[in-house]
Amino acid sequence: MNKHYLLIELKTVDSTNHYAEQLLRQDKVEEGTIIFAQEQTSGKGQGDSTWESEPGKNATFSLVLFPDFMAPGNQFLLNKVISLGILDFLHKFISEQKLSIKWPNDIYAGPRKIGGILIQNTICGTKFESCIAGIGLNINQERFNPWLPNPVSLKQITAKEYKIVDSVNLIVECIYERYRQLKKGLVESLGREYQDKLLWINEWKNYSVDKKLIKGKIKGVDEFGTLIVDIGNSTLCYFHHGEIEFIFT
């Protein structure tokens, strides 16, 4: 990552994604701008969910990209790039831990969630205008709300304290390395790596679909990011976000 990219550090903001949206509307942002907040009062998760984070403890930020070299129909490639970049960062500290991507937007260390991603793309006609990648990664937090099912932080795994801003910069460097691979057209290799890192890939596991328990085996995702699950008898089912729930018990 080049040093001239701007890191905007905020003490408190409603949402770094929302802040980035405002900058884009004012045309006051360049590619690679990072909006980092010590505290988000209304941090965004997927859909209507929120992201809970103890102030000053975690890497909670948004990264602005202008992937105008991409066709809008290929936008799920950005999910792959950002997910793999975050795994690259984590591998620097917890190589012994099995890291995976829980489709579509969560990062797992073993059976526990260590991070999440929210990507907001702006497309005008056939042109890809901008991407705001909202990232939340648990770094130093040790106490979590009891209603969270399975959280974990980097500190809990390694028993070490980390400098948050340094962590944010290193995460972005890792993402940018993957972004450069995308620009070079290394789509197939990125796809293979992403699929290999999917949580429960090629394992028979329990899921909930329409409140019914099913057993299935994840085979991968298609080019649009739809999850492909083998439910037996050579039958493949395709799921969009919110249509299938992973059962961990």
CA distance 151 to 168: 19
With 90 as the cut, is the pLDDT of residue 52 above it?
A: no
Q: Are residues 213 and 181 in the same domain?
A: no
CATH for 226: 2.30.30
With 90 as the cut, is the pLDDT of residue 43 above it?
A: no
Backbone angles phi, psi at 173, to 5 degrees: -60, -45
For 183, the token pair is 């620009």
Q: Are residues 155 and 235 in the same domain?
A: no
Is residue 208 domain-resident? yes
Q: Are residues 160 and 107 in the same domain?
A: yes
Three-state helix/strand/coil letters over 60-108: EEEEEECCCCCCHHHCHHHHHHHHHHHHHHHHCCCCCCCEEEECCCEEE
Q: Which residue has the tokens 């937090």?
A: 141
**Are the C-beta atoms of 119 and 47 separated by less than 8 Å?**
no
Average pLDDT over residues 162-191: 97
Q: Are residues 126 and 18 in the same domain?
A: yes
**Are the C-beta atoms of 147 and 37 separated by less than 8 Å?**
no
For 44, other C-beta atoms within 10 Å of its C-beta total: 22
At 187 the three-state DSSP class reads helix
* pLDDT: which is higher, 28 or 46: 28
Q: Are residues 76 and 135 in the same domain?
A: yes
With 60 as the cut, is the pLDDT of residue 176 above it?
A: yes
Q: Are residues 189 and 101 in the same domain?
A: yes
Number of domains comprising the chain? 2
CA distance 204 to 52: 31
Region of residue 154 (phi > 0: left; psi between -120 and 50: alpha; otherwise: beta): alpha
Average pLDDT over residues 104-122: 96
Q: Are residues 182 and 230 in the same domain?
A: no
Average pLDDT over residues 212-229: 97
**Are the C-beta atoms of 139 and 46 separated by less than 8 Å?**
no
Q: Which residues contact 198 (CB under 8 A, 6 or more apart)?
A: 100, 101, 102, 103, 218, 220, 221
Residue 213, strand partner residues: 208
CATH for 123: 3.30.930.10
Q: Are residues 83 and 161 in the same domain?
A: yes
Q: Are residues 59 and 146 in the same domain?
A: yes
**Are the C-beta atoms of 64 and 130 separated by less than 8 Å?**
yes
Strands of 86-222 (E only): list them.
Answer: 99-102, 106-109, 112-124, 127-137, 204-209, 212-221
CA distance 248 to 111: 8
Q: How confident is the model at residue 4 (pLDDT cuts 50, 70, 90)?
A: low
For 199, other C-beta atoms within 10 Å of its C-beta total: 18
Give Cα 107 to chain centroid, integer Å. 6
Q: Are residues 175 and 230 in the same domain?
A: no
Q: Are residues 185 and 208 in the same domain?
A: no
CA distance 88 to 77: 16
Is residue 2 domain-resident? no
Q: What is the pLDDT of residues 130-159, one digit of tens each?
A: 999 999 999 999 999 888 889 999 999 999
Domain of 234 in residue numbering reads as 204-246
Query: In this predicted structure, what is the pLDDT of residue 87?
Result: 97
Q: Are residues 136 and 105 in the same domain?
A: yes
pTM for the whole structure: 0.93
With 90 as the cut, is the pLDDT of residue 49 above it?
A: no
Is residue 228 domain-resident? yes
Q: What is the mean pLDDT of the chain?
A: 92
